[in-house]
């Protein structure tokens, strides 16, 4: 009976970790990706912010550095810090 109890606890812990782990960001080229890809790839960037990135890029040209993304409403230092290793230009 003890073995079953420990096995169930291990299974439960495994499920909790699987479904509550933070989403890992993926590398994305901010100058070529579409809004959905940007939203899916970066932490703290939803579809609305990703669409704003694409609009800004279309109107002003490609981003050359992280600081340029601060032109997008709602994207600040915290968001850039979380994603700095995953944003390509």
Q: Does the reported pTM lie above 0.85?
A: no
> Which value, to the nearest 10 degrees, does the dihedral of the CA atoms of residues 41, 42, 43, 49 take?
-110
Read off the DSSP letter of residue 69: G
Domain ranges of the chain: 25-88
Mean pLDDT taken over the chain: 86
pLDDT tens, position by position, 46-60: 999 999 999 999 999
Tokens representing 4?
Answer: 């079953």
Residue 10 C-beta-side C-alpha neighbours within 13 Å? 6
CATH of 25-88, one of 3.30.420.40, 2.102.10.10, 3.40.50.300, 1.10.150.280: 1.10.150.280
Residues 6+ apart with CB under 8 A from 72: 49, 52, 53, 56
């Amino acid at each position: 009976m003890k073995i079953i109890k420990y096995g169930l606890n291990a299974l439960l812990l495994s499920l909790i970790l699987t479904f509550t782990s933070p989403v890992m960001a993926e590398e994305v080229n901010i100058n070529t990706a579409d809004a959905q890809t940007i939203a899916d790839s970066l932490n703290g960037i939803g579809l609305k912010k990703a669409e704003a990135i694409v609009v800004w890029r279309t109107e002003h040209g490609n981003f050359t550095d992280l600081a340029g993304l601060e032109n997008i409403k709602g994207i600040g230092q915290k968001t850039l810090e979380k994603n700095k290793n995953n944003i390509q230009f």
